[in-house]
Amino acid sequence: MAERENVVFVDGARTPFARAKSLYAETRADDLVVKVIRELLRRNPNLPPEKIDDVAIAAATQTGDQGMNIGRSVALLSGLPTSVPGYSIDRWCAGAMTAVTTLSSAIMAGAYDLAVAGGVEHMTHHPMGEGVDPNPRYLSERLVDPEAMLMGKTAENLHDRFPHLSKERCDHFALSSQEKTAKAYANGLIQPDLVPVAARSSEAGVILVTEDESPRPGTSLEGLATLKTPFRPHGRVTAGNASGLSDGATAAILANEKVADQLGLTKKMRMVSFAFAGVDPEVMGVGPVPSTEKALIKAGMTIEDISLFEINEAFAIQVLAFLDHFGIADDDPRVNPMGGAIAVGHPLASSGIRLMANLARDFVTNPGAKYGITTMCIGLGMGGTIIWENLQGSSN
């Protein structure tokens, strides 16, 4: 059997994330992705557009401005040659992550040399659950607990399963996410990966969006303690220790490492392994545990080999369940060094590439780090994990 080709993460970028029903309310979802792809092409002039083998764009709701095969649509709208194909992809929150792993598999097999992956979620135009028609067998045959259909309730279920992971610990983690995000902005670490968006507004005309809208720098433990628990009376999940509803898009350039060297492209990270795993849907937030274990086994590694972790903060309890399983402290500085989705938001299918762009930046600020993980939970009981090798620091 021939050896697989190495896949490298050349570059990644995203729009600033906006709160749902806010800054992007009058901006199309596909236009958000187009903006990011055009910026990536501008930033990487050595990449011949006609050499791109495929474009895969993810969205959790594929109707309206996220429909019409959004992968092919945005390839055309971005100005790529008509010879460059495209397709849409869906694994809910892990859509962009799956776009990356699917295209990377083709590169590993030698079928592709260059590809563009991306994801978008316009939760203003497409609220979570829009148009969903669950098969009645889910409930009549008890295949899925009814609470698995509401992500907030699955987070409450995780609290039930792990009572030692208290609301207080979740609020502390949420505060830390806000503080780390504010510090990263102050140090200019987040801004280089943001693509400014000129958003239409019938009231204000055109608004230039240059930063994430959701972070709340003034967050305090006292304030977090007073928030309502909408998913259960006297529950533990609040708007403060969960990610907010958001609009935004991400994209990334992937390449065969040999081709990247030939073209003189940036090589930020090398893919080591990836894995997806299923868990009980009613506790979907624990999904990153088995997917990470599978990815580590495939790589011949242990958790001790990992220097940096980018974990999607869908809910604080979900991150703490992961850390608790692997014996990592709640406040370990290797975890989400620039904050996470609790602060900046989680536009579902786009978030996987935000994690990758963050990890690439983490590797720059931690040059001695050799390996890092991007991982996230996925609705209906799944987790996804990719292990990356640093190609930018002193460890090489």
Among 125, 126, 159, 346, the one annotated catalytic: 346
SS3 (DSSP) at 375:
strand
Element (H, E) at 87: strand 86-89
Q: Give the side-chain half-sphere CA count within 13 A for 307.
A: 17
- At 281 the three-state DSSP class reads helix
Q: Report the distance separating Cα 371 and Cα 269, nearest Å.
A: 9
Please tell me which residue in 125, 159, 170, 377 is annotated as part of the active site.
377
247: part of which helix (H) or strand (E)?
A: strand 246-256
Residues 6+ apart with CB under 8 A from 230: 152, 237, 238, 239
Tell the residue number behind the tokens 């902005």, with chain if given.
185
Hey, how many other C-beta atoms are within 10 angstroms of the C-beta on 144?
Answer: 18
377 is an active site residue: yes
CA distance 312 to 28: 25
Q: Token digits for 213?
A: 């809208």
Token readout for 30 is: 């596909």
Answer yes or no: 346 catalytic.
yes
Region for 205 from its dihedrals, namely left if φ exceeds 0, alpha if ψ lies in -120 to 50, beta otherwise: left
DSSP calls for 336-378: -TT--HHHH---GGGHHHHHHHHHHHHHHHSTT--EEEEEEEE
Residue 93 falls in the annotated catalytic set = yes
User: Residues with catalytic annotation?
Assistant: 93, 346, 377
